Amino acid sequence: MRSLLPLAVISALFLVACGGGDDNEPAATGVPTTAAVEDRAEAEALLKTTALRLEDLPSGFTLDEEKFSTNEETAEEQKDNPYAPTLEDLNGFGRILSYDASYSQEVSPDLLTNGGTLFMQTTAAVYDDSKGAEEAFEFVRDQTSDPGFAQEFQQNFASSSGIEVKSATISPMSFAEVGDDRLAFEIKITAHSPDLDTDLDFVGQIVGVRRDRGIESVTVLAVGTPSPIEELEGLARTLDERMKDALE
């Protein structure tokens, strides 16, 4: 059993609001201009440099998927999400491009019963300037404080995972001072597993860090006991240090 729950559901907030987009317009023929190609290549190189890598993670994880996303792609994928920014919002933030990679380890009945980390995801996005990145960060902060966000999240999680979700709560987390700004919150989900015929408690921890005109996040999904906060802080500091070096 590789994937019991889709990680994209857990980390959708930062993928949407702090992910990326490409504001360069294509030429009339549909072929990107030379400038657009150069900007895209430069942005891809920067984001791959700053994101977490497999060697940064605990042993036992494998890469599931990695991709770059433009504003148009992100807006289209999240068009039915009332809490997602529109294409106009994304362009207004001045996002250039985003990168995300998801990792998981083999999900066995023993892991589900005894607890442990199931999935990890890293995202990185670069903006035109720090003001736009700050506005995008505040957008995320506003969404998580909306009373209806947890209910919407619970409905999306249930429909995407195909399992019965009994409850879901989202609350802010106290987190160490990393980067120019940071936002951390914890998602707790109680769901019924038909395979094991029992209820399971899932904990998703998401940390976003803004450094100048870059935003990065790390998402960890565990069953039972969440990962040690020191481990999450270490990953966030690695992201911040890499973004700082890349932007300098």
Torsion of CA 217, 222, 224, 230, to 10 degrees: -50
Q: Residue 218: beta bridge partners?
A: 122, 207
* Segment 44-64, tens digit of pLDDT: 999 999 999 999 998 889 999
- Name the helix (H) or strand (E) containing 119: strand 116-127
* Spatial separation of the C-alpha atoms in residues 34 and 37, rounded to whole Å: 5
For residue 183, give every residue at least 6 positions away whose Cβ sits within 8 Å of its Cβ, in sequence order, or none. 137, 140, 141, 144, 172, 207, 208
Q: pLDDT tens digit string along 57-86?
A: 988 899 999 999 999 998 888 887 777 788
pTM here is: 0.81
CA separation, residue 9 to residues 15, 88, 102, 146 (Å): 10, 23, 12, 18
Domain range summary for the chain, segments of one domain joined by +: 7-247
Query: Among residues 123, 116, 144, 104, which one has the least CA distance to residue 7?
Result: 104
Higher-pLDDT residue of 31 and 101 is 101
Range with the poorest average pLDDT among 21-25, 80-84, 101-105, 122-126: 21-25
Average pLDDT, whole number, for the chain?
79
Phi-psi region of 179 (alpha: psi -120 to 50; beta: other; left: phi over 0): left
Radius of gyration of the chain (CA): 18
Residue 204: alpha-carbon gap to chain centroid = 11
- Residue 85, classified by CB atoms within 10 Å of its CB into exposed (0-12), middle (13-18) or buried (19+), is buried
Contact in structure between 120 and 61 (CB atoms under 8 Å):
yes
Q: In the prediction, which pLDDT does 161 show?
A: 62
Region of residue 124 (left: phi > 0; alpha: psi -120 to 50; beta: else) = beta
**pLDDT 10s digits, 89-102:** 889 999 999 998 99
pLDDT surpasses 60 at 187? yes
Residue range 7-247 in CATH 2.40.50: no
Q: Is the pLDDT of residue 19 over 70?
A: no
Q: Is 188 exposed, middle or buried (0-12, 13-18, 19+ CB in 10 A)?
A: middle
Neighbouring CB atoms inside 10 A of 128's CB total 13
End-to-end CA separation in angstroms for the chain: 43
Which residues on adjacent β-strands are paired with residue 122? Answer: 101, 218
Q: How many CA atoms lie within 13 A of 201 on its CB side?
A: 8
Contact assessment for residue 75 and residue 87, using Cβ atoms and an 8 Å cutoff: yes
